[in-house]
Chains A and B, each alone.
Chain A
């Protein structure tokens, strides 16, 4: 079974430029997450989708970050414009569903963003 797929794996941009990350979750997983991981830190949640609906986006910096999950499968995370402090690894994860059970989140390999 294929895992969570992310692209690109690496991205280098200059500040003020836009950037987008793409994620394809594990087949059949209804819940999708975007996390940001700074160097030497654990991942921090940016946004959580259940199907097409963003149900937890309280930690997404909405002035420059946006996300979408059309048709409840693939998702795109965008930053516009990028700032130096956005340099980090952006991780996508998916789980079967959220509800009464605690579902395991499976992570993709991440996109390493460097903002110059």
Chain B
């Protein structure tokens, strides 16, 4: 059974304190791994897509990396506005469920001044 597990469930950082969020997955045939950010009362906002092990992508203070078993979202010198829930999702290459995203439960990040 396909599974996506995110850790930690919650993370509190002081402004400027760098850290990483983890997303481990067990799927047969990965087409893509997605990171989304979700603010309270809003829908998920797309951040990155990673397709193959070794791939990295960056956006402002965020950097996403991918291995064959997990992905990391590194946050460098975070600011309070980075506070949100970060969701990881995988997409498989199975024809019957092509396009379906399997989400983890998310990591709730709080950055305090």
Contacts and interface: CB of A to CB of B under 8 A. Distances in A.
Interface of A: 4, 31, 33, 40-45, 48, 55-56, 58, 91, 93, 95, 98, 102-110, 112
Nearest to A108: B43
Interface of B: 4, 31-32, 34, 36, 41-46, 49, 51, 87, 89, 91, 96-101, 103-106
B103 A102 contact: no
B43 A56 contact: no
B34 to A, nearest CB: 8
Nearest to B97: A56
B24 to A, nearest CB: 14
B43 A48 contact: no
Contacts, number: 61
Nearest to A109: B43
Nearest to B31: A102
A33 B42 CA distance: 16
17 contacts: A40-B105, A41-B103, A41-B105, A42-B89, A42-B105, A43-B103, A45-B101, A48-B99, A56-B96, A56-B97, A56-B99, A58-B97, A95-B99, A102-B32, A104-B34, A107-B44, A109-B42
Contacts of B87: 42-43
Contact of B46 (A42, A43, A45, A105): A105
B42 A102 contact: no
